[in-house]
Amino acid sequence: VELRGSFEIIATHKGRSGITLRLIMGDAETDSILRNRFPDHGQVHDQDKAKPSRRKRASCFGSLAISSIAATFTVAIFIIVLYKGRSDSRYPWPTPHLFTREELSQYDGSNGGKLILLSILGHVYDVSAAPQFYGPEGSYRFFSGKDASRSFVDGCFRDECFDPEKSLSGMTEKEIESLQEWKEFYDKDSKYVFVGTLSGWEMGQIAKDGTSI
């Protein structure tokens, strides 16, 4: 092979076409001759040039993926905070709230109040979406502003029937199961919103003797 131009041999290795010379300096004509005689010569240079480009693209894709995930997470947090702020703004207290009997009695829809609450088994619900039933003129107005758990089963509206320590006293297991079904009704109906619990009620599983929930 006739080589033209100045060059310096810095490495040799065995290629598919024989001995491949890698030059550190040389003119274009010399490089062309080597490519024709030793095909591996060009491949070595091409592969070396491609490696940094691949790494750069991989790095860019990785950065874009991380940025996309971070942006999605930020938007999700913003939506949750915004929704929570709007839902809580309907009430003068943070939810869920622990109510006293006196506090709950203020939300029976009387005196032009738009906020109507009721409690069943110590769980307080906002029923303002149905004032035709729970408002001052509604057929279920007796349940508003109090925990009328027993009233749902036997229609008792005496004062002792609203006392959390006595309201379930003497009730049968079947009556308590019926009461639990009423509570599930308020849990499942999207019109009604759970806003807290009533002080004096023990939350949890129904006791065997039917005295607490």
The C-alpha atoms of residue 11 and residue 200 are separated, in whole angstroms, by 89
User: 36-40, 58-62, 90-94, 120-124: lowest mean pLDDT where?
Assistant: 36-40
What would the two tokens of residue 18 be?
């024989």
**Domains of the chain by start residue, with CATH:** 9-86 (no CATH), 97-198 (3.10.120.10)
Note the pLDDT tens digit of each residue in 75-107.
555 444 444 444 457 899 999 999 999 999 999
Specify the higher pLDDT residue, 186 or 73.
Answer: 186
The C-alpha atoms of residue 84 and residue 96 are separated, in whole angstroms, by 12
Specify the higher pLDDT residue, 185 or 65.
Answer: 185
Specify the higher pLDDT residue, 3 or 171.
Answer: 171
The C-alpha atoms of residue 33 and residue 23 are separated, in whole angstroms, by 12
